[in-house]
């Protein structure tokens, strides 16, 4: 274990790379989730079918397979196509794959909002896009954020695949340290603890986002007022009739 002390700065650099990949991938997946989730909830059959096909395609294979395709295969099949750097290819693939899973969360949350609200917005002259962004999605966010938070924790774990294309994340550095020190158990125990720390921070971050949502704040304020309101009791000497 003492042999690892000299390699801690390198492991911390790898941890920062892992955290950066995770943050950018989660942000990208959030955008993809909303776009595909809204498209899956569209009334137009072609839009809904295209979004469904994209979701099934992205969920149909391992993220590692798509990463190999994005980094190795696409430049070989399309010579004029610029080759992504390992970092960019990793963030792009994780964003798309994570967004495909997140689209189901968004679509389910939108479906839970009564359709009459959307129809009422259209009757009031709201454009469909504005009705979705200003009325439906803000209400659905209270259901989207908890589900997406669980997905984000999984995405932190998915970042371990980026070492296969040369991104020097914490797993890549850890494997290098293991070959130099032969401290297999200590290295992987340290890597596991670092991933656990990242997942914990991700969970805390999404819990904070969930508490900050306007709808959740309003519900908490309503419950607080209900608990603090004095109970209605009959005045002294008054007769209570059934």
CATH of residue 166: 1.10.3720.10
Q: Are 75 and 9 in contact (CB under 8 A)?
A: no
Residue 56 lies in a domain: yes
206 belongs to a structural domain: yes
Note down pLDDT in tens along the chain; length 242 residues.
566 777 788 889 999 999 999 999 999 999 999 999 989 888 888 888 998 999 999 988 889 999 998 888 887 887 777 788 999 999 999 999 999 999 999 998 888 888 887 778 878 877 878 888 888 888 888 888 889 999 999 999 999 999 999 888 999 998 898 888 888 888 889 899 999 999 999 999 999 988 887 666 665 666 666 666 655 455 555 554 54
Q: How many domains does the chain have?
A: 1
**Residue whose tokens read 């569209």:** 42
Tell me, yes or no, whether 46 lies in a domain.
yes
- Domain containing 220 equals 14-226
Identify whether 234 is part of a domain: no
Residue 132 in domain: yes
Does any domain span residue 231? no
CB 63 within 8 A of CB 40: no
In a domain, 242, yes or no: no
pTM of the shown model: 0.85
Q: Which two tokens stand for residue 133?
A: 């962004």
The Cα–Cα gap between 163 and 148 comes to 24
């Amino acid at each position: 274990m003492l042999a690892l002390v000299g390699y801690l700065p390198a492991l911390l650099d790898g941890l920062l790379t892992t955290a950066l990949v995770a943050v950018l991938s989660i942000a990208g997946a959030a955008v993809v989730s909303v776009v595909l989730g809204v498209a899956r909830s569209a009334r137009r059959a072609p839009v809904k079918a295209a979004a469904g096909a994209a979701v099934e395609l992205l969920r149909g294979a391992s993220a590692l397979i798509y990463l190999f395709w994005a980094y190795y295969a696409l430049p070989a099949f399309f010579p004029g196509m610029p080759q992504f750097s390992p970092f960019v290819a990793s963030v792009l693939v994780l964003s798309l794959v994570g967004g495909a899973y997140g689209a189901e969360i968004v679509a389910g949350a939108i479906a839970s909002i009564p359709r009459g609200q959307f129809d009422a917005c259209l009757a009031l002259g709201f454009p469909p896009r504005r009705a979705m962004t200003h009325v439906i999605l803000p209400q659905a966010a209270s259901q989207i954020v908890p589900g997406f938070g669980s997905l984000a924790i999984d995405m932190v774990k998915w970042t371990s695949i980026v070492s296969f294309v040369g991104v020097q994340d914490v797993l890549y550095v850890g494997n290098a340290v293991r070959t130099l020190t032969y401290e297999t158990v200590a290295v992987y125990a340290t890597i596991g603890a670092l991933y656990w720390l990242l997942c914990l921070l991700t969970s805390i971050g999404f819990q904070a986002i969930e508490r900050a949502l306007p709808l959740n704040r309003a519900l908490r304020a309503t419950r607080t007022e209900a608990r603090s309101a004095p109970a209605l009791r009959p005045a002294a000497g008054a007769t209570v009739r059934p």
